[in-house]
Amino acid sequence: MSILSILEPAAATSARPTVTRLVTGTIPATVGSALLVPLADGRVTDYANFDHGASAPCLESVRASVEAALPSYASVHRGNGYASRITTQWYERARAEVHSFVGARADDQVIFTRQTTDALNLLAHAVPADATVVVFESEHHAALLPWAEERTVRLPAPASAAEAVTAVADALRAAPEGPRLLVVTGASNVTGEIFPIAELAAVAKAHGARICLDAAQLAPHRPVDIAALDVDWVALSGHKLYAPYGAGALIGRADWLNAADPYLYGGGATTSVSGDGVVWANGPARHEGGSPNVIGAIALASACATISRHREAIEQHERSLLARLRTGLAQIAGVTTYSIFGAEADRVGTVCFTLDGLSSTLVSAALSAEYGIGVRDGKFCAHPLVGHLLAEAPEHGTAVRASLGLGTTREHVDRLVNAVRTLAANGLRAEYEDTDHGCQPIEDPRDLHAPRIW
């Protein structure tokens, strides 16, 4: 893939950094795309990354933006020094970029957080004490656990999109008077299936409820539009969006957030402090106490801008690879793939599967050691959902998740399918043992020691 690097015109002052923008007719490039990994037989191969659902590699454009920001990096707000003023502008422009990325309304706030888990816990902190929260048990733990237990209605995993809408309507109809909040994922982090967000938002509004969308797994792969979907809040993570610099965001309505106590007490969250008391700030500052993660915010904004420019190419790339992966796995005897809504449901590039005769841990370890493939095994921080999906397969307590993205190629997909086919037909090439560092071959020549890089 050829990439044309275009430099921005020189700024008025030589102190300003020059940002390299990567322009490509296909998909944006990622850092680490040429990573080579050792195999247990002594060979070396390029890394096949099927773990995007946990954390995506960094975009080259994000790295360029961060490198451009570092020379003049400083703390933001209330600083008159050149570096502080420039960095403050970038920080607030990052807020505007994220606002645009999710199609937020004019008066929606963008509050920078650490990641989706932090964003959802912030919202839980701001939910009125008498609010009823409705959530499916199929949610990631970040969306399932933060709410007050005594005021939370947990719905079983729905068997279809229509059943999800009906279940929410019934739960809200039966809820006591007072504020109500529906919390729902955009795309399942276990199966990749997309929930009927617009329909769920409509039924929530019909019953006087608000809705929060966990877009951690959706936003990297499909557009998110707060206004069009008519949702009240969106939570997302930079590390899922190819910006692994420790920032996420909660975007949405201001009233509950402005009425709540600050999420973090400290500098920046106040307008005045005296012996008579504290006057807390309104707006994003109220919940961004302390020195913010400016570099993380810039990285997140850069990723949002890049993904927006390449959205069509990204979707085409991922749909093609996903179809190839699902077709290949479906042809292997002993492989079972899992779904919430059924095989025909729309989904992002994630497949959850098990292989007869081998635990998910062994499959994951063998794919890594014998084929240079990175997948994830376990319950994916969604224990109730995985338990539901595997209820009829008691021999499998956990599953394998292959999640593709911009760091995945067609050759990687073919390698994964062929590796699983070989494991199904011939089993493991080596004997494995559990160690303090995970499951690995008993005789393993790979150097898995990570020396300090600082």
pLDDT tens, residue by residue, 59-113: 999 999 999 999 999 999 988 999 999 999 999 999 999 999 999 999 999 999 9
Residue 409 belongs to domain spanning: 36-57+311-441
Paired tokens of 160: 């279809």
Tell me what pLDDT residue 78 has. 85
Q: Is 80 exceeded by the pLDDT of residue 367?
A: yes
Same-domain status, 222 and 260: yes
147 lies in a domain? Answer: yes
Fill in the DSSP letter of residue 30. B
331 lies in a domain? Answer: yes
CA–CA separation, 143 and 146 (whole Å): 7
CA–CA separation, 295 and 245 (whole Å): 7
Task: Name the active-site residue from 58, 352, 381, 439.
Answer: 381
Paired tokens of 341: 């809504």
Angle (CA) 25 32 299, round 5°: 75
- CA of 433: how far to CAs of 204, 366, 396, in Å? 50, 11, 18
CATH number where 91 lies: 3.40.640.10
CA–CA separation, 126 and 222 (whole Å): 28
Q: Is 50 exceeded by the pLDDT of residue 1?
A: no
* Sign, CA torsion 233/195/187/357: positive
Q: Is 50 exceeded by the pLDDT of residue 7?
A: no
Same-domain status, 211 and 82: yes
Tell me what pLDDT residue 212 has. 98
* Of the candidates 432, 56, 110, 427, the residue with the CA atom closest to the CA atom of residue 254: 110
The DSSP bridge partners found for residue 59 are: 30
| pLDDT, tens digit (0-9, with 9 covering 90-100), for 198-247 | 999 999 999 999 999 999 999 999 999 999 999 999 999 999 999 999 99
**3-class DSSP state of 44:** strand
How many domains are there within the chain?
Answer: 2
Same-domain status, 223 and 235: yes
Tell me what pLDDT residue 4 has. 27
Same-domain status, 382 and 241: no
b/e code 135-172 from CB counts within 10 Å (16+ = b): bbbbbbbbbbbbbeeebbbbbebbeebeebbebbbebb
3 lies in a domain? Answer: no
12 lies in a domain? Answer: no
Same-domain status, 367 and 220: no
Of 305, 334, 357, the last residue of a domain is: 305
Q: Is 70 exceeded by the pLDDT of residue 6?
A: no
CA–CA separation, 112 and 285 (whole Å): 9
Same-domain status, 331 and 185: no
Same-domain status, 213 and 140: yes
433 lies in a domain? Answer: yes
DSSP string, 213-230: EE-TTTTTTS---HHHHT
Tell me what pLDDT residue 25 has. 53
Same-domain status, 328 and 258: no
Please state the rounded mean pLDDT for residues 21-36.
Answer: 78
Same-domain status, 94 and 109: yes
Same-domain status, 162 and 197: yes
Tell me what pLDDT residue 271 has. 92
| pLDDT, tens digit (0-9, with 9 covering 90-100), for 68-78 | 999 999 999 98
Same-domain status, 219 and 84: yes
Paired tokens of 328: 């290949």
Q: Give residue for tokens 């929530």.
A: 204
Tell me what pLDDT residue 273 has. 95
DSSP string, 248-279: EEEEE-SHHHHHSPPSS-STTSEEEEETTEEE
Q: Is 70 exceeded by the pLDDT of residue 145?
A: yes
Known catalytic membership, residue 381: yes
CB atoms within 10 A of CB 447: 8
CATH number where 358 lies: 3.90.1150.10
213 lies in a domain? Answer: yes
Of 271, 305, 339, the last residue of a domain is: 305
Tell me what pLDDT residue 341 has. 97
CA–CA separation, 138 and 384 (whole Å): 6
Tell me what pLDDT residue 102 has. 98
Same-domain status, 315 and 267: no
Distance of CA 104 to the CA centre of its chain: 19
Q: What percent of the chain has pLDDT over 70?
A: 94
Q: Is 50 exceeded by the pLDDT of residue 17?
A: no
* Of the candidates 119, 231, 154, 155, the residue with the CA atom closest to the CA atom of residue 186: 231
The DSSP bridge partners found for residue 22 are: 5
Q: Is 70 exceeded by the pLDDT of residue 402?
A: yes
Tell me what pLDDT residue 83 has. 96
Of 278, 305, 332, the last residue of a domain is: 305
Q: Is 70 exceeded by the pLDDT of residue 12?
A: no
Could you tell me the pLDDT band of residue 183, with boundaries at 50, 70 and 90?
Answer: very high
1 lies in a domain? Answer: no
15 lies in a domain? Answer: no
Please state the rounded mean pLDDT for residues 137-159.
Answer: 97
